[in-house]
């Protein structure tokens, strides 16, 4: 038979076990909501962090887009300003060319024209045609009998192409005339005054093919500082023609 002491021990152990279970259950009941709340807060924090990162990424993307747009606008503004500056410089250069020729002629004892002609050129061409050479031959026929002469050239183009390109093209056309007169008629360089006007001085409208053909030209004037009662002679190619 179980002694009273043994029974007491068993009862005590049972009470301890019961109390232990009760305590664990109580602790579990108390801590479970806290754990759940903590987990919920962790989830909310993670979600908030993700949303903050998303907002930051969108903000950075927006800032980058604005910066790129601003840079593009600034670049276009700089390009427009550069274009305007270049255009102004080109216009100033053209005015300078006209001024140099005008002042040179005016300062050489009031030169006046003895003979003049216009030679025409094909589109984007700077070579002399047979018809152009005939016109120059007619004008050059008066050189030998003209004392104190100079030859003034104005090269021109139609409106197709940029200003800068046309200045160069008009200069090349004038150079073709110079080379022809120098090689065939021994006209010295110091007797020739040349200016490339580009498309700045059209004689006809550039809206028509015939007008553009007339503007592709070099005006040639044989001038002298000698007093004469004779009217200027005109040599060939006065009628509009296209080459």
CA distances from 191 to 44, 104, 228 (A): 93, 11, 20
Stretch 161-166: mean pLDDT, rounded?
A: 87
List CB contacts of 101: < 8 A, sequence separation 6 or more: 152, 154, 193, 194, 195
Where do the domains of the chain lie?
Answer: 1-92, 108-234
High-pLDDT (> 90) share of the chain, %: 15
What is the C-alpha to C-alpha distance for residues 66 and 64, in angstroms, rounded to an integer?
Answer: 5
Tokens of 103: 């002042």
Say if CB 128 and CB 177 are below 8 A apart. yes
Tokens of 29: 């009941």
Q: Assess if CATH 3.30.1330.60 describes domain 108-234.
A: yes
Stretch 32-44: mean pLDDT, rounded?
A: 65
The pLDDT of residue 238: 45
The pLDDT of residue 242: 37
Q: Is the pTM of this model over 0.85?
A: no
pLDDT by residue (tens digit) across 172-218? 998 899 999 999 999 888 888 887 777 777 878 888 898 888 888 99
The pLDDT of residue 203: 79
Say if CB 231 and CB 115 are below 8 A apart. no
Stretch 32-59: mean pLDDT, rounded?
A: 67
What is the C-alpha to C-alpha distance for residues 49 and 218, in angstroms, rounded to an integer?
Answer: 77
CA 156 and chain centroid, separation: 24
Stretch 221-227: mean pLDDT, rounded?
A: 84
The pLDDT of residue 243: 37
What is the C-alpha to C-alpha distance for residues 73 and 68, in angstroms, rounded to an integer?
Answer: 9
Q: Is the pLDDT of residue 21 over 70?
A: no
Residue 237: phi and psi, rounded to 5, are 55, 40
Tokens of 125: 């061409």
pLDDT by residue (tens digit) across 60-85? 776 777 677 666 766 766 766 666 56
Helix (H) or strand (E) holding 140: helix 130-140
């Amino acid at each position: 038979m179980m002694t009273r002491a043994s029974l007491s021990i068993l009862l005590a152990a049972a009470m301890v076990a019961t109390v232990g279970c009760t305590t664990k259950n109580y602790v579990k009941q108390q801590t479970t909501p806290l754990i759940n709340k903590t987990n919920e807060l962790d989830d909310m924090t993670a979600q908030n962090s993700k949303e903050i990162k998303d907002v930051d990424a969108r903000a950075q993307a927006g800032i980058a887009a604005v910066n790129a747009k601003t840079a593009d606008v600034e670049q276009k503004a700089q390009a427009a300003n550069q274009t305007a500056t270049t255009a102004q410089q080109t216009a100033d250069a053209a005015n300078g060319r006209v001024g140099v020729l005008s002042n040179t002629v005016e300062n050489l004892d009031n030169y006046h024209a003895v003979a003049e002609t216009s030679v025409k050129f094909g589109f984007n061409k700077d070579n002399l045609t047979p018809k152009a050479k005939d016109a120059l031959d007619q004008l050059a026929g008066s050189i030998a009998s003209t004392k104190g002469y100079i030859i003034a050239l104005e090269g021109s183009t139609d409106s197709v192409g940029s200003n800068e390109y046309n200045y160069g093209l008009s200069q090349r056309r004038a150079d073709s005339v110079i080379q022809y007169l120098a090689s065939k008629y021994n006209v010295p360089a110091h007797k020739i005054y040349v200016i490339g006007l580009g498309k700045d001085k059209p004689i006809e409208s550039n809206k028509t093919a015939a007008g553009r053909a007339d503007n592709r030209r070099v005006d040639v004037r044989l001038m002298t500082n000698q007093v004469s009662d004779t009217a200027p002679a005109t040599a060939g190619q006065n009628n509009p023609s296209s080459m």
